[in-house]
Every structure is written in C-alpha cells, then in structure tokens.
Amino acid sequence: MGADTVEFTEQDFDEKVLSSDLPVLVDFWAEWCGPCHMIAPAIDEVAVEYKDKVRVGKLNVDQHPSIAARYGIRSIPSILLFKGGQASDQLVGAVPKAQITNMIKRAL
C-alpha cells in the first residue's frame, strides 16, 4: 500500500471518513479479490496525486464487514466518495484510473 493511502477500520471510520474536512475516497476491498489487486496501484497513484485535496484510503471488507454492510456493498472493488459525512458517488468494479480521477474532480 502506498505511503499516502490510509487504512480505515470499523473503529476509526466515523472519525476519519465521516467527520473529515476533506472529501474521502474509500476503496472497499479484500485479499481474495483479484480485481481489487488490479486497481490497487491506481488507488495509490491517486492518493499521491490528490494529496492535501482528498483523503484516499482502503477498507478491508473481510476485517470490517459492518462498514461494508452499512453502505450496502455487494461487489468489490467498490469505490465510494464521501463528502460531509455522506456517500456522494460510487464506482463498482475494476474501473480505469481515469474514472477514479473523474469522480474526484466531480467532488472538488
């Protein structure tokens, strides 16, 4: 995982994601999910490129299933964008990096 990519947990999700001043991009993933590994490098790149503008992080659905359930996640990877504590945008599947950056641009 990239140095600028944060790891979210059930314990700190509300504080680090919902109460964040910056928009937050959350990549819902799991170890067994091939497409999640496909997009991992793109997520890390986005974290570097949008440093200081957007908080970028990952949530392991296997270890923190309650958060995935709260947002009705039924496919991974799912990328959700949170703004002011609300999930405002969503991408599902191994999407190209351009789609991820477009989602961020829409939120800024």
Q: Given the rule CB under 8 A, which residues bind other proteins?
A: 30, 32-39, 41-42, 45, 61-62, 68, 72-76, 78, 92-98
Instruction: Say how far apart CA 99 and CA 104 lie, in whole Å.
Output: 9
**Is residue 46 within 8 Å of 34, Cβ to Cβ?**
no
Angle, alpha carbons 54-31-14 (nearest 5°): 40
Based on CB atoms, which residue is closest to other proteins, 3 or 21?
A: 3
Active site residue 36: yes
Catalytic residue among 22, 30, 33, 92: 33
Active site residue 33: yes
Catalytic residue among 6, 26, 36, 104: 36
